[in-house]
């Protein structure tokens, strides 16, 4: 037991906190996070790429603004609360969620898009072990 205080350790000793795994030395978890891509860490290569990424968010803001101006604040707040409630309901963590109720609220339920025919590129076909994925989602691991 060291009773002399933290500054009295010999210079060649290593504190225990430095031996613990930090972000730099942790291995990448392929099961949960997939392969790392350098492209994801780079800035958008084209100005329209950022605009396209935020298209749905900008569309929702514009529709809420129009609804607020035409029908009043209450209608926009009610629709925003419905959006929040629908976004919180999800499938199990190991199953992909299509967010169909969200599409109904946005009015996209009767349209056919790229993701309906060729699937959404952001949803890869990763299937992990269900029990492990639920434990990870609940922060039990």
Within 8 A by CB and 6+ apart from 82, the residues are 105
Of all residues in the chain, what percent carry a pLDDT higher than 90? 19
- Three-state secondary structure call for residue 123: coil
Inform me whether the pLDDT recorded for 74 exceeds 90.
Answer: yes
Torsion of CA 59, 60, 64, 66, to 10 degrees: 10
Question: pTM of the entire structure?
Answer: 0.51
pLDDT tens across 57-71, in order? Answer: 999 999 999 999 999
The answer to whether residues 135 and 38 touch, using CB atoms and an 8 Å cutoff, is no
Q: CA dist 110 to 24, 38, 106, Å?
A: 47, 37, 10
- The residue extents of the domains of the chain are 44-88, 92-112+128-141
pLDDT tens across 101-120, in order? Answer: 888 988 888 888 777 777 66
């Amino acid at each position: 037991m060291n009773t002399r205080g933290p500054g009295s350790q010999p210079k060649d000793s290593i504190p225990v906190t430095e031996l613990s795994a930090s972000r730099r030395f942790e291995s990448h978890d392929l099961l949960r996070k997939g392969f790392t891509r350098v492209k994801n860490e780079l800035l958008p290569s084209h100005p329209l790429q950022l605009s396209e990424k935020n298209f749905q968010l900008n569309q929702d803001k514009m529709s809420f603004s129009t609804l607020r101006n035409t029908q009043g604040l209450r209608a926009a707040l009610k629709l925003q609360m419905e959006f929040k409630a629908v976004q919180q309901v999800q499938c199990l963590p190991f199953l992909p969620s299509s967010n169909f109720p969200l599409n109904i609220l946005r009015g996209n339920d009767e349209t056919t898009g790229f993701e309906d025919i060729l699937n959404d590129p952001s949803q890869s076909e990763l299937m992990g072990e269900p029990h492990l994925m639920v434990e990870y989602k609940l922060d039990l691991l």
